Amino acid sequence: MSVTTPTSASAAQGEAGQNYHFALTSLTFLFFIWGFITCLNDILIPHLKNVFDLNYTQAMLIQFCFFGAYFLVSIPAGFLVKKAGYQRGIVIGLIIAAAGCLLFYPAASMQQYPLFLGALFVLAGGITILQVAANPYVTALGKAETASSRLTMTQAFNSFGTTIAPWFGGLLILAAATAEVGSAEFKAQEAAAVQVPYLMLATALLVLAVIFAILKLPKVTEHHQTEVADANPGSAWQYSHLMLGALGIFVYVGGEVAIGSFLVNFLGEPDIAGLAEADAAKYISYYWGGALVGRVIGALVMQKIAAGKVLAFNAIAAALLVVLAMSSSGALAMWAILAVGLFNSIMFPTIFSLAVTGLGKYTSQGSGVLCLAIVGGAIVPLLQGVLADSIGLQLSFILPVFCYAYICFYGLKGSVPKN
């Protein structure tokens, strides 16, 4: 298959249509693997909380280190991708992520929490580069009018990874220890339980790196140009809809990650479901599986309804479900919080595609800014951890409610580009 080098994403669409289809198919595997890895954090949190006797705030350092990498790596990643290109950027990201997975082995052997946090940071650094390279690549491979739908559909495979990861983690990590709970042998078994799963992930990432290094994918050197890009030359930071979208990404990722991070503990509460950790982990699949279903539905709905309106509707529905989970108990509270995943579904790809609309040659820079905002996944869960330690786990979910309120505003008002 020859490499196509169009001067714009639409110029060679007729000639490279099948190339675009092949490229999008290849990228779906990336969305799957990083979704899988990210969701495993929801299993690591209760697991390492037990191993190292952590409170909620300390346990949330897992998400703080993982998503904090987005804050530190996103801007350099944007420059790297701009210089090396999308395909090479993907290969570099895969190799770094594999290195992070390999670091879990010595961290478990030494039973050192800081080493686990360091391994997570390296792993997340590689995932950040993948995000910066793959998300705008998907938006460029096709018509600008269907960018939101296209990115939403590929992100559905990200949700597929997050759907099966809890089963994988619950089986191989949470249910691994057989020694007496609280004993030194138990803690050693619990720490070692992460070694094999993350070695398997490292192998998969390295195989993908080799595959993407040899694939012949279309090269996209420019993105869709619009009057907005021409009217504001200079920098991506000048676009208000991008800046507001960055805040939208911050609160969305923060809210979604915070909910997922506390699900095992929430479902283990006696007045909610009283589930053991390994059993609760299986129910997390409903949360992330809802996102999978919602993205498939959303990709179709946004062919007919404006993406901003769909985004606002989903934000309102998610907020109401969280309030219901906070104010009720038993099965009602459990299924209300799990159902939030269905409405989270289209938020990231929709906010992302709306925010990069009209950036033209600044799209790579804009992608870096948006991935920088993924640091919300570090800050919001940590803040909710502080709330959980002070006012209780159930009431701490008020924080994601405020996150969804802002997303509603962005969908209706903030996402409109200003000339």
pLDDT at 4: 32
Tell whether 6 is covered by a domain.
no
Residue 349 pLDDT more than 90? no
Alpha helices in 61-103 (DSSP H): 61-84, 86-102
pLDDT at 181: 53
Residue, of 21 and 377, whose pLDDT is higher: 377
The segment with the largest mean pLDDT, out of 189-198, 229-238, 334-343, is 334-343
Tell whether 315 is covered by a domain.
yes
Tell whether 154 is covered by a domain.
yes
Q: What CA–CA distance (Å, rounded) separates 276 from 288? A: 19
Tell whether 33 is covered by a domain.
yes
Residue, of 112 and 316, whose pLDDT is higher: 316
Taking only the tens place, the pLDDT of each residue in 76-95 is 888 898 888 888 898 999 99
User: By three-state DSSP, how is residue 114 classified?
Assistant: helix
51: tokens are: 């191993």
- The one-character DSSP state at 180 is P
**Cα three-residue angle 265-35-54, rounded to 5 degrees:** 30
pLDDT at 7: 35
Residue 261 pLDDT more than 90? yes
**Cβ atoms of 359 and 229 closer than 8 Å:** yes
pLDDT at 82: 82
- Domain of residue 214 covers 13-414
Taking only the tens place, the pLDDT of each residue in 364-388 is 778 778 877 888 999 999 999 999 9
Tell whether 2 is covered by a domain.
no
Residue 293 pLDDT more than 90? no
Q: What is the average pLDDT score of the chain? A: 83
The segment with the largest mean pLDDT, out of 135-139, 159-163, 209-213, 403-407, is 403-407
Q: What CA–CA distance (Å, rounded) separates 118 from 124? A: 10
Window from 71-80, 129-138, 144-153 with minimum mean pLDDT? 144-153
Tell me what the mean pLDDT of segment 130-135 comes to.
82
Residue 228 pLDDT more than 60? no
Given its phi and psi angles, is residue 392 left (phi above 0), alpha (psi -120 to 50 degrees) or beta? left
Tell me what the mean pLDDT of segment 25-33 comes to.
81
Tell whether 7 is covered by a domain.
no
Domain tally, the chain = 1
Residue, of 332 and 237, whose pLDDT is higher: 332
Spatial neighbors of 84 by CB under 8 A, at least 6 apart, are 92
pLDDT at 222: 47
**Cβ atoms of 228 and 417 closer than 8 Å:** yes
Tell whether 224 is covered by a domain.
yes
Q: What is the pTM of this model?
A: 0.79
Tell whether 419 is covered by a domain.
no
Q: What is the DSSP string of 271-334?
A: TTT---HHHHHHHHHHHHHHHHHHHHHHHHHTTTS-HHHHHHHHHHHHHHHHHHHHH--HHHHH
Residue with tokens 């919001």: 380
Q: What CA–CA distance (Å, rounded) separates 276 from 64? A: 25
pLDDT band for position 329 (cuts 50, 70, 90): very high
CATH number, domain with residue 206: 1.20.1250.20
pLDDT at 17: 44
pLDDT band for position 233 (cuts 50, 70, 90): low
Residue with tokens 């059993």: 279
pLDDT at 128: 87
